[in-house]
Structure 1
Amino acid sequence: MLTTLLAASMAAATAAPAAPAWHDGLDWHGVHVSIQQDAAGAYTLAWPFGQRVIAPQTFAADTASPLFDGLYAMAQDDLKQDSVTAIRDGAFDHGQPIPCHCFETGLKWPYVWTRDLSYSTDLGLWRFDADRARNGLKFKLSDVRVPTAPQGLYVMQDTGSGGSWPISTDRVVWFLGAQHLLGDKAFAADVYKALGDTLAQDRLYAFDPHMGLYHGETSFMDWREQSYPAWTFDEVTFIGQSFALSTNVLHYQALQMAATLARQHGDARTAGRFADQAKALKAAINARFWRADRGMYMSFIGGDGTPNDTYDLLGIALAVTSGVADPARAVQTLANYPTWPAGSPVMWPERRDQPIYHNRAIWPFVSAYAMRAARDVDQPARIAHEIESIMRGASLYGSNLENYELLTQGQHVDEGKLSGPVVNSPRQLWSVAAYMAAVTEGVFGLEPDGKLVPKLPTSLVPMLFGDRDSISLALPGRHITLILPKMRDGNLLVADRITTKGDATTVQLKAITVKDAPLRTDAPLFAPEAPPAPALAADGKTWKVQAHGKVRLYVNGHRAETIDGSGTLPRSGDLTCVSATRVGDDGLESLHSPAVCGDEGQPVDGSWPRHWTAPASGNFRVSLNYSNDHGPINTGITAAVKMLAIRCDGATEQRVPIVMPHSVREQRSTWGEFSARAGAACTFTLEDGFNMSYLSHFAHYTGGVGGSDGPLNAADVKGMVIAPLGASTDKGTPR
C-alpha cells in the first residue's frame, strides 16, 4: 500500500492541475470537485460522495475563482456551526452541557481546549467574533482552590500526557490569542494578571537554569509515540525532562508580551526583567536547537541537551514569525523543511511503526503558520504551496477537516493498524481559522496588526484574477481591493500604492522578483527505527558497551563514537548516561533508544527529611524512585509536582522541582542538579508543589481523580538517588 501511495504522490506532482486552474473546481488523484454559485449567491460544492450547499455569507471574497470564494463562504458557515452557547466533554461535569457563549473545537471535539482556541484566535478568528474568542479564552483561566497553595490567576494546561502540566507546558500559547483582544479593559486586566502569575509559575517548575530553557512536550503534538521515541508510550518522564522548540518559542513570545505590557503599566523594573529573560531564552534556543548539518531547528532535545534528528513545522514557523530565528536562519530553516505534492507534513521524518495522525499528516492550521512564516521571509513558492494545500483539503471533503494523510491528502487511508488519520473532525476550529488566514493574510495581505502587506505569488494570479484586473474581500469593518499591475514580470506581487477611504482600502500592486527558495521535494520519508538500549558494564577505567548492531552512541548529551555490536567508553567515576541511534543509508538518524546510566550513586532511603553526606566536592544529580497510579499515561491532571529543598552545611538552600507523572510501574522522576562540598552534611525535604488539580476550574473534572473529588498532588516515593556529575555542569552546545 505504501509503495502505491508513494508512486501516486510522485505522479501527482506532475499530473495534478496546479492551483491556477482552480476556477470552477479541481481534480486530485482521480477525484473531481466542482462548485457552482446560483443567482442568490449560494454555492454548491460537489464531489463523488456528496455535496454541500453554502448559503450566502456576511463577508464575501470576489475573485475570478468561485472555488476560492465559495470556500471562504464555507469557512464562515463552519464557524457559525462552531459558535455555541454550551460546550461539553465526557471528562467534565459527566458530559453535561456547560454554558459558554464561545467557539467549540469541532464536530468531534465539542469543548474548548487551550491550544486549539489560542492558535485559532491568533490566526484571525478574533476578527470575526471577538466576544466568542474572548469568552473561550476566559473559560481557560482559573484561580486556585487550595488555600495553602500560592494564589493567582493561571492559564490552564489541558488534560494530557502523564497527568498534564508540567509534562506539557504549552499553555502559554493562550497569550498568543489573547494579545489580539486587549481592547476590552476588564479582559486586558485579567491577561496582565494571568501573564505574570503563569510565567512565574513556569519559571519555578518548568525552567532549567543550567540549559536556559523550559521543559515540556512539543506544542499540539501530544500523542507521545507519534513524535517521541516509541518507548515513551508508557514512560513520559523523558518528555517532562526534555525541551521542545515550539514550547520554548511560545515562552519567548509570552515573555516579550509581558515586557511590553509591564512598560505600558509604567513598571520599568518588571519590564526589564521580562525583557532580559526573553533575550536570554532566545539565545539559548539558538544555541541548543539549531542543527547546522541540517540547517534547521530541531523539534526537541533531551534533558541533558542530547540532539534529536527530528523537526516539526509549527516549531520552525513560530521560530521564524517570532523573530527567534535571525534572517539568515529563518530563510534556511524554512527552505530546508521538506514538502510533498499534497502539502507540508507537521513533523519530519515520519515513523514507519506509527499510525497516521501527527505522523505522516498535514494539519491545515500548521500549514497556515508555515504560510505566515513564508511571507516573513519572502518565499513565494512556499506561500502558494501552503495556500493550495489548505484550499485542496477543504474542497475535497466539503469541510475544514482536522488533518489529512500526507501523500494523498486523504481524510482516511486504510493501512491496517497504521490506518489514519486516526481521528478527523469536520469544521475543526483551527482548520477553519487556517482557511480564513489563507484568504485574509495569504492572498489579501492583511497582517495580524492590521497593516496591509500583500505578498501574493504570481503563480496564483491566473486562478484569482483570470481575465480581471482586480479582486476584493469583505471583512468586519474593512473592504480590501487588490488591483493587478499591467506588467507582471516577477514572482511576487507587493503593494505599490495604498489608498484608504473610510473602511475601503485599495492596493495597487506591483511585481517584483525575490530570491525564492525552491520547495524541498527530495527528502526521504521515514527515519530508521530506534534501536534497543545499549548495555553498560564497568571494566576498570572503561565502560564496555554492548549494542544491537551498528549504532551511534551519545554520552551525557554529546555525540560519541559509532560501534558495531560492541565497544568501549572512558569511565570517570561520574554519572555516565548512554543512548544509541541508528543511521540510515540516506543519512537520517533515528530517535534515541532509552538511556542507560552507570555510576549513578547509591539510593538514599529513609523517611523525610532524608540525610546524605557529600563524598566529594562537585555537582550532583538528584531524582526520586516513585510510582503514581492516579491516572492513565495519556491524560489526567495529577502529575505529582514537588519541590526538593536541599540544605548543606555552610551553603545557601538549593531548591529543585521534581515531577512524578502518571506511571504504570515504579520508575525514576525528573531530575535536578545541586552542588555540595566534600564532607558536607545535607538534608533533603520534599515540599508540596503545584499541579493542575489545584485550579478551581478542575472541580468540574469528572474524568479521573483530582477533579470533582478534590485536588490531588501525590505519588508513592520509594527512594532518592544521588549521582555525581563532577566539577562542572556546563553542557555546552549540543553537537
Structure 2
Amino acid sequence: FPVKIHSTSIADRYLHSLFKREQPIHAPIKPKYITAHNTISLDGNALLVIAALNYAARSGDDEFVETHWSALKRAVIWLEDHALEDDGLLHQAAFADWADSIARSGRVLYTNVLYWKALHELALAAPLYSSADDESYFRDKARQLKASINAHFWRQDLGYYVTNEIFDNLSSSGNLLAIAWEMTTPDQAESILDCMDEFDMANPVPTQVVHRAYPNKFVALENRWGGIANYHTSAAWLWLGGWHIIALARMERFMEAELLLYRLSNVIVRDGAVHEVYAPDGFHLSSFWYTSEAPLTWSAGMVVYAHYVYQRHVQKLHNGATISEN
C-alpha cells in the first residue's frame, strides 16, 4: 500500500506550507511507495485491511469485501515476509512508520499492534467472506502475535508497553490502540492510562507522541535542522488525542475523557481549524522553516469519531449495558 498519494513534489509542498498557501488539488494523484529515507513502510498495509473491513461492517457492503478478499489476504501475507523470527513479530527499518522522523527499527510496538488488529479482523470476517481454513489460520496467527506482543513489549515494572528493544519510553500510538481495540487486559489498560496521566501527556493539547523524547541522534537531520526535532516526541497530535479519549471511554473513565474532549474543542475553536501538530505550549508547531499544516483531515476525522464513541459509551452506561469496540 502506498505511503501516501499526492499531486505535488516535496519542494512544492514545502513552499505552500512556508507561505501558508493551500496546496493545489487539480493535478493527477500519484502513489508513493518509498519513504523520504528510502525505506518501505509496513503500517499502511495493516491499516488498509482494518479500514476495508470496518467499512464493510458499518456499511453492509459485503460485495466490496467479497471482491477484494484475496487482495486483503495478500496485504497481510506481504507483511508476514517481515516477521523474521519465530515470535511472528514484524521487523521494520528506521523511519518506516507514521513517526517517520524517528530512527526506530526492528520490532516496533505500533506496527505490530496494527498487524495484530488486521489479523484479528480477518479472522472475524472469514466466516462471512471465505472459509473455515482462513478463519482458523488468521485466528491462530492473531493469538500467537498477541502473546508475542505481551512477551516482548509489556513491562510490568513500568506499567506500559515499551516502544521497541532500544527505547523504553511510552509511545501513545501503540499503547492507546491496544486499549481501544481490547488487546490489553483491563489491568494493563488501567495501568497505561494511569501512566499517561502521571506523565501529563494530554496537557495542554491531547496527546503527546511519547512521554520521553528519543535521543537526538535518532531524530532525522532535516527535523533537527528545521527546528522541529520534537515533531514526533513532545509535540501533540489530535488524532492521538482522539484515541486517548476512546481508550478512556472504553475503561469508563468518563471525567478524564470529557476533559480531553474539552481541551480538543478549545484548541479547534481557538484556531478555527484542526492543525497537523501542536507544540508543548499548546499552539501549532512552527519554526522559521516549517509551519504545521491545516486543516488536517486525519485528525479532524478522529476528533469526530472520538466524540461519537464517547457518547455511545455514555449512552450504553445509562442504559445499563456495556459495549465492545470490536
Structure 2 length-normalised TM: 0.77
CA distance in 1 between counterparts of 2:83 and 2:32 reads 16
Instruction: Look up the match of 1:568.
Output: none
Contact 1:172 1:250 in 2 (8 A): yes
Partner of 1:426: 294
How far is the alpha carbon of 1:328 from its aligned partner? 0.9
The amino acid across from 2:124 in the alignment is T
The aligned amino acid for 2:303 is Y
Which secondary structure does the structure 2 equivalent of 1:260 belong to?
helix
The equivalent residue for 1:35 is none
How many residues are treated as equivalent by the alignment?
287
| 2:283 equivalent to 1:410 | yes
- C-alpha distance in 1, partners of 2:121/2:306? 25
Structure 2 equivalent of residue 208 of structure 1: 84
1:380 to 1:157, Cα distance in 2 relative to 1, 3 A: farther
Q: CA deviation at 1:380?
A: 2.5
Q: Which has the higher strand share?
A: 1
CA distance in 2 between counterparts of 1:261 and 1:497 reads 29
Whose radius of gyration is greater, 1 or 2? 1
**Overall identity of the aligned pairs, in %:** 19
Pairwise CA RMSD: 3.1
**In 2, Cα distance between equivalents of 1:255 and 1:497:** 32
Output one character per residue of 1:225-266: Cα deviation in whole Å (capped at 9) or x when no partner: 5xx4xxxxxxxxxx2xx1111111111111112112222135
Q: 1:370 to 1:309 in 2, by over 3 A?
A: same
Give runs of aligned pairs for residues 482-521 of structure 1, distance below 5 A. Answer: 494-496=317-319
Distance, in Å, in 1 between the alignment partners of 2:92 and 2:82 is 7
Q: Distance in 2 between matches of 1:438 and 1:170?
A: 21
Selected match of 1:391 from 265, 277, 297:
265
Please state if 1:224 is matched with 2:102.
yes
Q: CA deviation at 1:496?
A: 3.3
Alignment CA distance shift 1:334-1:253 (3 Å): same
Is the CA contact 1:411–1:424 (under 8 Å) kept in the aligned structure 2?
yes
Task: Measure how far apart 1:441 and its partner are.
Answer: 2.3
* Greater per-residue helix proportion: 2
Does the C-alpha gap of structure 1 residues 158 and 331 become closer, same or farther in structure 2, counting only changes over 3 Å? Answer: farther
User: Is the contact between residue 314 and residue 366 of structure 1 (CA under 8 Å) also seen in structure 2?
Assistant: yes
How far 1:160 moved relative to its partner?
1.4
Counterpart in the other structure of 2:141 = 277
The 1:87/1:292 distance shift into structure 2, 3 A limit, reads closer
SS in 1 for 2:184: coil
Question: Structure 1 residues 286, 157: closer, same or farther in 2, change over 3 A?
Answer: farther
Q: Distance in 2 between matches of 1:423 and 1:496?
A: 46
Aligned pair in 2 of structure 1 residues 437, 295: CA closer, same or farther (>3 Å)? same
The 1:157–1:190 alpha-carbon spacing in structure 2 relative to 1, beyond 3 Å, is: farther
Contact kept in structure 1, 2:46 and 2:114, CA below 8 Å: yes
1:385 corresponds to which letter in structure 2? L
- Other-structure match for 1:159: 34
Superposition deviation, residue 358 in structure 1: 1.5
Letter of the structure 2 residue corresponding to residue 222 of structure 1: D
Q: Residue 200 of structure 2 aligns with which residue?
A: 339
Residue in structure 2 matched with residue 454 of structure 1 by the alignment: 314
Contact kept in structure 1, 2:179 and 2:189, CA below 8 Å: yes
Q: Partners in 2 of 1:109 and 1:323 — Cα distance?
A: 40
After superposition, residues 76-475 of structure 1 pair within 5 angstroms as: 88-90=7-9, 107=22, 158-160=33-35, 162-165=37-40, 168-182=42-56, 183-203=60-80, 205-216=81-92, 219-225=97-103, 228=104, 239=105, 242-301=106-165, 307-337=166-196, 338-340=199-201, 341-343=203-205, 344-351=207-214, 353=216, 354=224, 355-406=229-280, 408-412=281-285, 422-442=290-310, 444-445=311-312, 453-454=313-314
Question: 1-side partners of 2:88 and 2:24: how far apart?
Answer: 36
Query: What do residues 427-482 of structure 1 show as CA deviations (whole Å, max 9, x unaligned)?
Result: 1011211331243223x22xxxxxxx326xxxxxxxxxxxxxxxxxxxxxxxxxxx
Change in Cα spacing, 1:327 to 1:158, as seen in structure 2 (3 Å) is farther
Query: For 1:496 and 1:356, how far apart are their aligned partners in 2?
Result: 43
Distance across 1 between alignment mates of 2:259 and 2:33: 32
3-state SS in 1 of match to 2:318: strand
Give ranges in structure 1 of 5+ residues lacking alignment. 1-85, 96-105, 112-138, 141-155, 229-238, 302-306, 446-452, 456-492, 499-735
Q: Deviations over 1:587-636 (max 9, x none)?
A: xxxxxxxxxxxxxxxxxxxxxxxxxxxxxxxxxxxxxxxxxxxxxxxxxx
Letter in 2 for 1:316: N
